[in-house]
Amino acid sequence: MPHDGEPGHTHSRKKGKTRGSRNPPTTEEGESTPTPSPSVAAANDAITTGNTTFETDKTLVPLELTSLISNDPSDLTKPNYIKVYGSLTSQTQNWTLNWNEETVYGRIDPIPTYSGTTREVSVSFLLLTPVADTGGSQLQMGEYQTATVQRILQMCYPAYANRGDNGFNTAVLKAPPILKIKMGNIISGKDGNSPVVGYLKNVGVEMVNEGLYNMGMSSGNKLVFYSRIQLNMSFGILHDFDLGVDDSGNILKNNYPFNY
């Protein structure tokens, strides 16, 4: 029999009976919904308050996301703010110059008309749960990383006004899911300390499972957590400051985009 910590062992907590477990909460359709364990609630609380073991490692540069559809985006204690800690596997930025090309008779080359420059940022993280003692068990770290991904996916949806409970999808769209994005000086605003404004174009989540060793079971229910999660995100950037050159040929933002 493998011991705890050896390959082939499932990271799980001993299940115990809880009061009211025979009558789990149900949705409006009558379907049973799992009750989050205390550790899951603690993981969500850690995301909200920033009280995580990752915060003590000053060598980590997190990806910071702030949703702008909150009533108070400056209040970082609300669920509109998240820090993503993980092993950065890829970071790509693309600038696309948009030209309208018109082909005319008797001219070999088209006549280009400039219409704008767009910027797109793509990042990929491998979210790991350390095996070594980091102030919490590996399962607790896995719960935190899973809660992190869940919070990001919640940011993919808009805000609604006058949401009715008539059973139909008739809510009025109030605001799109616009974000503030920052990762060190590589993805930052005009001064290097502020974030840039943008929007999520796509999010990909892959639960990397190389055997039961990478899985865990939360106590009191059947919530599964993985110790390896591949997270891929792509952002469109909205420029909230002028870029280019002035009428004298001077660069408007000398340290754009990496704030060197």
2 contacts: CB under 8 Å, gap ≥ 6? 8, 9
Closest CA to 43 of 34, 58, 53: 53
Highest mean pLDDT, choosing among 51-65, 118-132, 133-147, 233-247: 233-247
Q: What is the mean pLDDT of residues 133-155?
A: 76
By the 8 A CB rule, do 105 and 22 touch? no
Task: Give the pLDDT of residue 174.
Answer: 83
Percent of the chain clearing pLDDT 90 (strictly above):
34
SS3 percent helix, strand, coil of the chain, rounded to 5, is: 15, 35, 50
- How far apart are alpha carbons 122 and 201 in whole angstroms? 10
Is CATH 2.40.30.200 the classification given to domain 31-238?
yes
**pLDDT, tens digit, for every residue of 178-221?**
999 999 999 998 887 889 999 999 999 998 776 555 666 665 56
Mean pLDDT over the full length of the chain: 74
CB atoms within 10 A of CB 238: 13
- 4 pLDDT higher than 60: no
- Residue 16's identity, in one-letter code, is G
- How far apart are alpha carbons 23 and 145 in whole angstroms? 29
Strand boundaries in 129-195, DSSP class E? 159-161, 172-175, 178-182
Percent of the chain clearing pLDDT 70 (strictly above):
61
Highest mean pLDDT, choosing among 11-25, 45-59, 113-127, 149-163: 113-127
- How far apart are alpha carbons 131 and 123 in whole angstroms? 25
- 29 pLDDT higher than 50: no
- How far apart are alpha carbons 177 and 200 in whole angstroms? 8
Closest CA to 229 of 136, 132, 148, 153: 148
**pTM of the model as a whole:** 0.71
6 pLDDT band, cuts 50/70/90, is: very low
- 57 pLDDT higher than 70: no
